[in-house]
Amino acid sequence: MLYVAWADGDLEPVEIRAICTRLGTTEGMDEDYQQFLEGWLDPENPPSATDLTTLLAAIRTAAASMPAGERRSLAALGVELAAAAGHETSAAERQALEAIETNLGLSGSEAVRRLLSPERAAPDPMGALPAFELAAMTRLLDGDQWVIRDKVRGILSRPEFSYRYGLDRDNYRAQVLDWAEALAVEGIGALSFPEDVGGGGDLGAFIAAFETVAFHDLSLLVKLGVQFGLFGGSILQLGTQRHHEKYLPKVGALELPGCFAMTETGHGSNVHDLETVARFESQTDEFVLHTPSPAARKDYIGNAALHGRLATVFAQLEIGSEHHGVHAFLVPIRNEDGTMCAGVGVEDCGDKLGLNGIDNGRLWFDQVRIPRQNLLDRFAQVDADGIYTSPIASPTKRFFVMLGTLVGGRVSVALAGLSTSKSALAIAVRYGARRRQFGPEGAAETVLLDYRTHQRRLMPRLATTYALDFALSHLAAQYVDSSADNRREVESLAAGLKAYSTWHATDTIQTCREACGGQGYLAVNRLAALKADSDVFTTFEGDNTVLLQLQAKSLLTGYARQFGEMNVFGLAKYLGGQVATAVAELNPLVTRRTDEAHLQDREFQLGAFDWREKHLLSTLARRMKKRLDSGMDSFDALVEVQDHVVALAEAHTERLILEQFAASIDGCEDSSLRTMLGTLCDLYALHRIEADRGWFLEHGYLESAKAKAIRQQVNKLCLKVRQQAVPLVDAFGIPDPVLGAPIAFS
């Protein structure tokens, strides 16, 4: 006890007094022996390091032959050591030992282990066996596009796609262009283009390929997105057959590098009010593009600074005194030898936080002339006499149809965010399952994933990543099969999921970086690049906060239409149903139940998400109506309730994610996969309720005991998922050469 007390730090005066008092009152202890012990307890003359080393050696020597099972506490160890030396410990002595141990506040069994176990045990190199078939889980996540995903994985695993560190900006851009050209040769870029112009005619395959490339360098991903998704996609979706035949074969082969020039310095997400103008001159049968002010420069345009030769430029169409709104034009910006075309100005955006393999630039135009045929005229035509026609009568509807090219970009960026989350989790989980730190004396050091805090950091994010996978697969399928009937629904879904997925990626990558400590800060372990390169996902293809407001406005429109189309009887029935639902959901038996079966019941989880969304929607509608009734402008009214708007959109998106996760589980035929996915779904749902428990408590949907039970259940589920965490990230199917992080390799 003296050794442990002194080795653990100086004894406190109160501890010394307690020990001395006990020594003085112990029966049978002679005065000389008492003085000897008190000499060890003199704070003015503590034992030296040599004294403590000698004492420890004596203890270990004496205890060497003792059975491990008898080492229960310091007092018990002392009794056994005394017996081995031929001394019978009296009851009074035993009581004194136990009292002193208690007074010292020591964990006796732990102290004994530290005393007698100088070396740690070797760790068990084997982790938990998968509770499901890995290949089956990967196949489920890959979906119907597993063939193209496997092809892209194989291409990216080639030696020429190995990561290179320390490149300067020019060499990095050249490397990314080489990679992009290699993928173009394999036909990846032209997958979505029509077969009659050399494409694959498969939009779903292109989206799946894009998602898979996001496991690799993200500058390469954005290069592909700009060239084939935005630039090529704008020609495909906004142009007609003559544009397709003239341009798409070269675009798909990357023989004609291009740009998508929409964003302007002074207007950002506000495409409707951009300033670049395209005036039609009937005398020359040309459009004249002009940048009227520095704020109208096209900004942050990928491929503009170095490689792009042709740009899709969005500008205000003017014919005489008539203004027809924003339209898209094909504008040459460089000649084949790389020199700038007359009237086109360019400026490199310079070094960025990330994605420095992309040559982002600013473009402006000084009376640049292009043929009338360079108008992408699928939805609006201008003839040689300057007569404007369109199959879409409404200018507003025409504007939004033309912006449909952005929906594909948002779908793709949402999927790219998912892939970056998978990469980060694969690195952090594999590292956390092997990296050991601290632990009980004599036992193997504890792996990071066995710490609850580590589980709390990574397991809910792993569950959310799985949930997003199924939700985004649903979105991609909806987008591929979309028509005029459901286009607005798909746009709303894409806006919400793009925001949710990219915010999740930013949060997950940062958490994984921290979970890997200093190793996560090394460039070679890729978390630094993932963090820097994916950060812009939250603001390009639409700022996330703006997208959530667009989604919420769509929900409000649907809410108003729902009531507007009802007669008085339908309205009464609807409101009656709402009241009945609210009463049922706030029943004390529901708000108070804390048993595991109830908390893991999918009906309860979906009900909670649905109730939150409906409550936020109805209260937002009432707040908006109150302001509009008072005469407030609708824009100002929306600004006043923006926080409520964003909360509604987030709740709506989370409800959709949970519904798609649950539906995917119900449709899974493999029982082992279904069980594992069910556990992940429980963790996702309960963790999200826990994260928003303040709101649920505030509105009476939960009582405090239930909130505590949910927190406890999340802890249990984190531990359960932790046991399968490595197989779960292995199921993402990221090849080691593509993952590229040495700390993640077995």
Residue finishing a domain among 407, 429, 448:
407
- Amino acid residing at 548: L
Domain membership of residue 640 (yes or no) is yes
Q: How many domains does the chain have?
A: 3
Could you give the CA distance from residue 360 to residue 287 in angstroms, rounded to a whole number? 26
Domain membership of residue 522 (yes or no) is yes
b/e map of 167-177 (b: 16 or more CB within 10 Å)?
Answer: eeeeebbebbb
Residues 356 and 496 in one domain: no
The predicted-structure confidence for 99-140, as pLDDT tens digits, reads as follows 877 777 766 677 777 777 666 656 555 567 899 999 999 999
Could you give the CA distance from residue 191 to residue 152 in angstroms, rounded to a whole number? 12
Given this model, what pLDDT does residue 80 score?
80
Could you give the CA distance from residue 138 to residue 695 in angstroms, rounded to a whole number? 37
Residues 542 and 688 in one domain: yes
Q: What crossing angle do the helices spanning 544-564 and 642-666 adopt, rounded to 10°?
A: 80
Domain membership of residue 166 (yes or no) is no
Given this model, what pLDDT does residue 403 score?
77
* DSSP codes, 360-398: -EEEEESSEEEEGGGB--SS-EE-TT--EE-S---HHHH
**408 close to 204: Cβ distance less than 8 angstroms:** no
Residues 393 and 433 in one domain: no
Residue finishing a domain among 407, 424, 443:
407
Domain membership of residue 128 (yes or no) is no
What are 310's two structure tokens? 């042709």
Residue finishing a domain among 89, 116, 143:
116
Residues 389 and 486 in one domain: no
Domain membership of residue 221 (yes or no) is no
Report the SS3 class of residue 51. Answer: helix
Residues 584 and 681 in one domain: yes
Domain range for 78: 2-116
Residues 329 and 394 in one domain: yes
The predicted-structure confidence for 465-476, as pLDDT tens digits, reads as follows 999 999 999 999
Q: What crossing angle do the helices spanning 74-84 and 49-63 adopt, rounded to 10°?
A: 70
- The closest alpha carbon to 46, from 78, 17, 5, belongs to 5
Residues 622 and 727 in one domain: yes
Residues 571 and 652 in one domain: yes
Could you give the CA distance from residue 397 to residue 488 in angstroms, rounded to a whole number? 11
Percent of the chain exceeding pLDDT 90 equals 64
**257 close to 332: Cβ distance less than 8 angstroms:** no
* Ranges under pLDDT 50 in the chain: 563-581, 583-584
Residues 423 and 300 in one domain: no
Given this model, what pLDDT does residue 407 score?
86
Domain membership of residue 711 (yes or no) is yes
Residues 602 and 733 in one domain: yes
Given this model, what pLDDT does residue 209 score?
97
Residues 382 and 470 in one domain: no
Residues 384 and 420 in one domain: no
Given this model, what pLDDT does residue 575 score?
40
pTM: 0.86
Q: Which CATH number characterizes residue 669's domain?
A: 1.20.140.10
Could you give the CA distance from residue 37 to residue 743 in angstroms, rounded to a whole number? 52
Q: Which CATH number characterizes residue 266's domain?
A: 2.40.110.10
Given this model, what pLDDT does residue 268 score?
81
